[in-house]
């Protein structure tokens, strides 16, 4: 029983239209689900991913309109790292971000920058056998596109306190000082720490949680394993598009284990993902109310190239 790398990463925005513009237009991700925060359905939950809405490429945002910027600190993820295929791709993104007025720093095989609300991002050339998770975009050639998550970096005051839980309970493998890898049958990801004693503040531009992928059949056993490892997981929660348990690892970072399925095409056709407001059945009676209060969003899909399942 092994986790299949990162399932999704969820962050916070105070400005959904600007968020959509940056992630769907500038970075070329596909808005695959426009739905609501199931714990607070008066606010958006936006999902960006590859063309198929695949786990491993899924960056999500809760929108709290006008919320102040946060500040990452101990117990929080502070950088999201995506994969690129080549040095040519790195050069393409350095130039594209420059044209968009985004300040980026190139360090070796990586390019670091922030989103409009200060969320730390990195594009990195990575050699991997994992399938590339690519979204179609008219301005971004497939070979140069973002290819899914490589991992995340978190802050911790004492990373060593998390070692036993990560290795013995969750099955992460040590990959160097304060760095771990996890690999399942389909994909793998890294999880790494940078040390700080400063506590952060949740808000716009900060990560809420990172979710790790589990086959559906393994999900109950993962909850039991977390309990046995000293964690305090929630009950299994049905999120309609997947099932979830949540708990904090010893350094304080909020983890989720989410299932590989049912998936985003459960309630709308694959070719029309993200075009309309999708509501799980238990919220459908609120549709008229929610459509009045949710922030109007720009359209995100024009003509795009076709991508095969093998590419994505």
99-116 tens-digit pLDDT: 999 999 999 999 999 999
Is residue 221 over pLDDT 90?
yes
Is residue 310 over pLDDT 50?
no
1 part of a folded domain = no
300 part of a folded domain = no
209 part of a folded domain = yes
Could you give the CA distance from residue 35 to residue 280 in angstroms, rounded to a whole number?
8
Closest CA to 21 of 61, 56, 52, 72: 61
pLDDT of residue 312: 30
What digits encode the pLDDT tens for the residues 81-105?
A: 999 999 999 999 999 999 999 999 9
pLDDT of residue 299: 80
308 part of a folded domain = no
pLDDT of residue 307: 41
Is residue 311 over pLDDT 60?
no
Could you give the CA distance from residue 283 to residue 301 in angstroms, rounded to a whole number?
26
pLDDT of residue 37: 96
84 part of a folded domain = yes
Which residue range forms the structural domain that includes residue 90? 6-293
Is residue 302 over pLDDT 80?
no
Our count of domains for the chain comes to: 1
284 part of a folded domain = yes
Q: Which residues contact 42 (CB under 8 A, 6 or more apart)?
A: 36, 290, 293, 294
Is residue 289 over pLDDT 80?
yes
Q: How buried is 61 (Cβ within 10 angstroms: 0-12 exposed, 13-18 middle, 19+ buried)?
A: buried
CATH number at residue 29: 3.10.180.10
Mean pLDDT for the stretch of residues 186-209:
97
305 part of a folded domain = no
* Percent of the chain at pLDDT exceeding 90: 95
* Percent of the chain at pLDDT exceeding 70: 96
What digits encode the pLDDT tens for the residues 243-271?
A: 999 999 999 999 999 999 999 999 999 99
95 part of a folded domain = yes
pLDDT of residue 75: 98
* Local confidence band at 169 (pLDDT 50, 70, 90 cut-offs): very high
What digits encode the pLDDT tens for the residues 31-52?
A: 999 999 999 999 999 999 999 9
Q: Which residue has the tokens 């899924």?
A: 58
Is residue 79 over pLDDT 80?
yes
Is residue 303 over pLDDT 50?
no
Q: Which residue has the tokens 């990172």?
A: 210
3-state secondary structure the chain: CCCCCEEEEEEEECCHHHHHHHHHHHCCCEEEEEEEECCEEEEEEEEEECCCCCCCCEEEEEECCCCCECECCECCEEEEEEEECCHHHHHHHHHHHHHCCCCEEEECCEEEEECCCCCEEEEEECCCCCCCCCCCCCCCCHHHCCCCEEEEEEEECCHHHHHHHHHHHCCCEECCCCEEEEECCCCEEEEEEEECCCECECCECCEEEEEEEECHHHHHHHHHHHHHCCCCCCCCEECCCEEEEEEECCCCCEEEEEEEEECHHHCCCHHHCCCCECCCHHHHHHHHHHHHHCCCCCCCCCCCCCCCCCCC
* Token couple for 146: 């973002």
Residue 210: alpha-carbon gap to chain centroid: 7
């Amino acid at each position: 029983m092994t986790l299949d790398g990162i399932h999704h990463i969820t962050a916070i925005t105070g400005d959904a239209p600007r968020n959509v513009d940056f992630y769907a237009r500038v970075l070329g991700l596909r808005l695959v689900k426009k739905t609501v925060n199931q714990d607070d359905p008066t606010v958006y939950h936006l999902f960006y991913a590859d063309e198929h809405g695949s786990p491993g490429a899924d960056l999500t945002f809760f929108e709290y309109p006008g919320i102040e910027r946060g500040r990452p600190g101990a117990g929080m993820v502070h950088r999201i790292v995506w994969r690129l295929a080549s040095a040519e791709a790195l050069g393409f993104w350095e130039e594209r971000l420059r044209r968009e007025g985004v300040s980026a720093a190139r360090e070796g095989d990586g390019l670091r920058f922030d989103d409009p609300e200060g969320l730390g991002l990195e594009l990195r050339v990575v050699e991997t056998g994992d399938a590339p998770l690519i979204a179609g975009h008219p301005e971004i050639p497939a070979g140069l596109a973002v290819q899914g998550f490589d991992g995340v970096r978190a802050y911790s005051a004492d990373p060593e306190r998390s070692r036993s839980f990560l290795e013995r309970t969750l099955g992460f493998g040590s990959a160097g000082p304060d760095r771990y890898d996890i690999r399942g049958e389909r994909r793998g990801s890294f999880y790494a720490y940078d040390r700080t004693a400063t506590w952060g503040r949740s808000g716009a531009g900060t990560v809420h949680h990172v979710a790790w992928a589990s086959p559906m059949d393994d999900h109950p056993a993962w909850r039991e394993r977390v309990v046995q490892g000293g964690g305090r997981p929630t009950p299994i929660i049905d999120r309609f598009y997947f099932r979830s348990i949540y708990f904090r690892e010893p350094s304080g970072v909020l983890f989720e284990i989410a299932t590989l399925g049912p998936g985003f095409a459960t309630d709308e056709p694959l070719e029309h993902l993200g075009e309309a407001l999708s509501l799980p059945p238990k919220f459908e009676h609120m549709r008229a109310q929610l459509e009045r209060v949710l922030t109007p969003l720009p359209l995100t899909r024009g003509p795009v190239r076709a991508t095969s399942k093998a590419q994505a």
